[in-house]
Amino acid sequence: AQSVTQLDSQVPVFEEAPVELRCNYSSSVSVYLFWYVQYPNQGLQLLLKYLSGSTLVKGINGFEAEFNKSQTSFHLRKPSVHISDTAEYFCAVRDLYNTDKLIFGTGTRLQVFP
Amino acid sequence: EAGVAQSPRYKIIEKRQSVAFWCNPISGHATLYWYQQILGQGPKLLIQFQNNGVVDDSQLPKDRFSAERLKGVDSTLKIQPAKLEDSAVYLCASSLQGAGETQYFGPGTRLLVL
């Protein structure tokens, strides 16, 4: 069965510093990949998604992610974070051949300090 | 456009009581999802509807959970009787038909079972 691993449960970073949130998924022939953000007491909001084409995907709020098929990774990056980026970030995968279900990772808490 | 609406936002009940959650998806979205998000974990799909029909309910504890989507629009999720381990946030999401379509999430209902 498809699974998603977010190795870092928490990532502390200073404001204006770059950040990378790591995501790995179990191998599959064809997948769609997503990053969602969850602010306190709110639902999830889509940051970006990879369906096909260019492996570098740009999303909202200055975030981008790179799909690496050989390493089965989809790491999220931002060159300069703001206090307002403090939130929980979830990586998710949809395995198109085994199930149409969206599988989420356990999340990474990004804490931005002034 | 209005987002996914959920009610109530918060609910506290005692174990063995029953509870119901309501979801109104984005207008025109054929697919509706109910997720359970336990503290510290990513959302887990409970049930997926395509219009009126159930697409996937493999992870729904059917001895105590039930869900319906009458007329292919609003949906209710019920728990009867509730257990302590049902304490979680219940998220509703909707999307247009298609595996690559973005799922839009509501704010969730936070349930505490005492």
- Domains of chain A (ranges plus CATH)? 4-113 (2.60.40.10)
pLDDT tens digit string along A50-68?
Answer: 988 888 999 999 999 999 9
- Which residues lie across from B44 on neighbouring strands? B36
* Length of chain A measured in residues: 114
pLDDT tens digit string along A2-28?
Answer: 789 999 999 999 999 999 999 999 876
What mean pLDDT do residues B88-98 have? 90
Spell B3-21 as b/e; 16+ CB within 10 A means b.
ebebeeeebebeeeeebeb
A30-39, A48-57, A92-101, B62-71: which has the minimum mean pLDDT? A92-101
Distance (Å, whole) CA A31 – CA A97: 8
* Contact of B27 with B1, CB cutoff 8 Å: yes
A38-47, A71-80, B60-69: which has the minimum mean pLDDT? A38-47
> What are the distances in angstroms from CA B99 to CA A111, B65, B93?
32, 26, 14
Mutation target to probe the B interface, by most B beta carbons within 10 A, among A3, A101, A109 is A101
Share of chain B above pLDDT 90, in %: 79
Distance (Å, whole) CA A73 – CA B78: 37
Mutation target to probe the B interface, by most B beta carbons within 10 A, among A44, A46, A95 is A44
What mean pLDDT do residues B56-74 have? 92
The domain spans of chain B are 5-113
Distance from CA of A13 to the nearest CA of B (A): 20
- Interchain CB distance below 8 Å, A104 and B56: no
Residue B99 confidence (pLDDT): 66
Distance from CA of B100 to the nearest CA of A (A): 7
- Interchain CB distance below 8 Å, B105 and A45: yes
pLDDT tens digit string along B11-64?
Answer: 999 999 999 999 999 999 999 999 999 998 899 999 999 888 998 899 999 999
* Amino acid letter, A101: K
Q: What is the DSSP letter of A87?
A: E
pLDDT above 90: residue B9? yes
| CB within 8 Å of chain A, chain B residues 3-42 | 4, 33, 40-42
Nearest to A28 by CA among A101, A86, A89: A101
* Amino acid letter, A21: L
What is the residue whose two structure tokens read 């996937």? B56
* Contact of A14 with A102, CB cutoff 8 Å: no
What mean pLDDT do residues A62-80 have? 95
Which residues are within 8 A (CB) of B53 and not within 5 positions of it... i.e. 6 or more apart? none
Question: How many CB pairs (< 8 A) connect A and B?
Answer: 52
User: B5-113 — its CATH code?
Assistant: 2.60.40.10
Distance (Å, whole) CA A98 – CA B105: 24
